């Protein structure tokens, strides 16, 4: 890590101009995928197909195999990965004062050297968990799946790939999967993990739930500013006090670049998202939430809670989609919400699938719990770049790498994308 670390997050001026150096997407042009992965549930598990320029034909047969694990087994593997992130990152405490290490920026609170040492240990632990899920998906099948995995691993190790995973049956946090860059290294034999082995660190990867009538990854708006709706739990700012408000910096960024409107309660949110004339280009949730939970009355479905304290459940969002009768016009939805990016094997497990069914064109959110300070900074950085016209996925990848290398926190890697590789704002007079 470089000895000089700039950890100042000021809003008086545009503190994010350093992102202007990112490679720019071509306006209105789809990015060429190098790998396509397709999963479809079958009687014996899941049919897996793989193709794309990074998987050249070997003169034998198309890459197709059978993953011999059912939905429950895959869900259990995903739950283990989530638990490792919860205990290894979110709940990780310092050895001396027992404070949460990733409650803020470790490079600032602990110092660069200690933060880097802890991060190396975290990397290996998370790599072991990500590797276990990768092997569950690609090493527990027939001989054809083994052949597919061999070609896939060779492509992933050859350099950054652009990957679309398509499935309406199988859902995993793709960015958290791990394949060691060196095929001869063995994590279980003591080899250290490397961040470049995580899918979300090195590659652009999105989950596509299937064909959607009328879907357009390009979010068109006219000569005026794009429209944004803010669904915030304003109690978060009251809780943290005027010096450490997590929502106000985000509001500042959005208000600078978009015409925004506040919808801080469940009734206001329902009214807006069921309105046939809804033309929001960006939908942003900033609140407390969870994926599915097991409580005293059994499993409780995913939810997000706004300022009125009334939960918005996955089933509520489904009801809103029925009321609309047609999809929203493909806005980007950013969930600054714990576990807000989860897409589960069944509908109520996360909010991502019901929001996508409602008509969201791209959904971004964390798989795990994320503390409010980090979430605020990460969200600010994302939208400053997204409002400049960059595609969502490259920004997420860049910020993930930056927060690891400069600030010694891996939490950016937890953000996942339902679509996102092509999704960007486009002014109407641009030619797609």
In the numeric block, which tokens belong to residue 324?
A: 């609309």
pLDDT of residue 280: 96
Do the Cβ atoms of 36 and 51 come closer than 8 Å? yes
Place of tokens 């933060």: 115
Helical H segments across 285-425, by residue range: 314-324, 352-358, 372-386, 392-407
**Nearest by Cα to 356 from 211, 177, 174, 176:** 211
Q: Is 301 exposed, middle or buried (0-12, 13-18, 19+ CB in 10 A)?
A: buried
Q: Is 159 exposed, middle or buried (0-12, 13-18, 19+ CB in 10 A)?
A: exposed
- Residue 237 CA to residue 407 CA, distance in Å, equals 24
pLDDT of residue 214: 87
pLDDT, block means (10 residues), the chain with 432 residues: 41 42 58 97 96 94 96 93 95 89 90 95 97 98 97 98 95 96 94 97 95 92 92 88 85 96 97 93 95 63 94 94 91 94 74 91 93 93 96 97 96 95 85 46
Q: Which residues are CB-contacts of 252 (< 8 A; sequence separation ≥ 6)?
A: 11, 380
- Residue 391 CA to residue 414 CA, distance in Å, equals 18
pLDDT of residue 342: 84
Place of tokens 């150096």: 21
Q: Which residues are CB-contacts of 138 (< 8 A; sequence separation ≥ 6)?
A: 48, 67, 145, 148, 149, 152
Q: What are phi and psi of 164, to 5 degrees?
A: -115, 120
pLDDT of residue 112: 93
pLDDT of residue 80: 95
pLDDT of residue 238: 81
């Amino acid at each position: 890590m470089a000895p000089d670390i700039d950890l100042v997050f000021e809003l008086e001026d545009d503190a994010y101009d350093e992102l202007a150096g990112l490679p720019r997407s071509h306006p209105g042009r789809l990015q060429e995928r190098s790998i396509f992965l397709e999963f479809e549930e079958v009687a014996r598990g899941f049919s897996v197909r793989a193709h794309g320029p990074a998987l050249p034909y070997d003169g034998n047969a198309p890459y197709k195999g059978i993953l011999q694990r059912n939905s429950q087994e895959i869900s259990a593997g995903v739950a283990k990965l989530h638990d490792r992130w919860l205990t290894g990152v979110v709940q990780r405490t310092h050895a001396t004062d027992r404070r949460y290490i990733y409650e803020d920026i470790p490079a600032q609170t602990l110092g660069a050297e200690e933060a880097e040492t802890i991060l190396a240990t975290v990397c290996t632990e998370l790599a072991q968990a990500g590797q276990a899920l990768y092997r569950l998906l690609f090493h527990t099948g027939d001989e054809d799946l083994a052949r597919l995995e061999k070609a896939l691993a060779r492509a992933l190790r050859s350099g950054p790939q652009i990957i679309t995973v398509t499935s309406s049956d199988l859902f995993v946090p793709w960015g958290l999967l791990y394949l060691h860059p060196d095929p001869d290294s063995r994590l279980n034999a003591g080899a250290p993990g490397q961040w470049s082995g995580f899918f979300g660190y090195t590659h652009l990867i999105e989950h596509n739930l299937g064909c959607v009538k009328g879907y357009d990854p390009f979010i068109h708006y006219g000569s005026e500013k794009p429209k944004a709706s803010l669904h915030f739990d304003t109690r978060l700012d009251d809780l943290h006090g005027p010096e450490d408000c997590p929502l106000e910096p985000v509001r500042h960024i959005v208000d600078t670049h978009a015409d925004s409107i506040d919808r801080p309660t469940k009734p206001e949110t329902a009214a807006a998202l069921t309105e046939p004339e809804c033309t929001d280009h960006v939908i942003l949730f900033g609140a407390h939430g969870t994926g599915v939970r097991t409580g005293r009355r059994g499993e409780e479905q995913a939810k997000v809670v706004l300022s009125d304290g009334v939960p918005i459940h996955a089933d509520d969002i489904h009801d809103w989609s029925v009321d609309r009768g047609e999809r929203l016009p493909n806005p980007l939805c950013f969930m600054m919400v714990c576990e807000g990016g989860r897409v589960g094997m069944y509908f109520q497990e996360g909010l991502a699938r019901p929001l996508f069914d409602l008509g969201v064109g791209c959904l971004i959110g964390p798989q795990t719990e994320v503390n409010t300070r980090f979430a605020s900074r990460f969200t600010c950085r994302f939208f400053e770049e997204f409002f400049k016209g960059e595609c969502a996925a490259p920004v997420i990848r860049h910020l993930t790498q930056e927060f690891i290398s400069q600030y010694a926190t891996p939490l950016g890697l937890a953000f996942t994308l339902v679509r996102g590789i092509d999704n960007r704002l486009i002014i109407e007079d641009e030619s797609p």
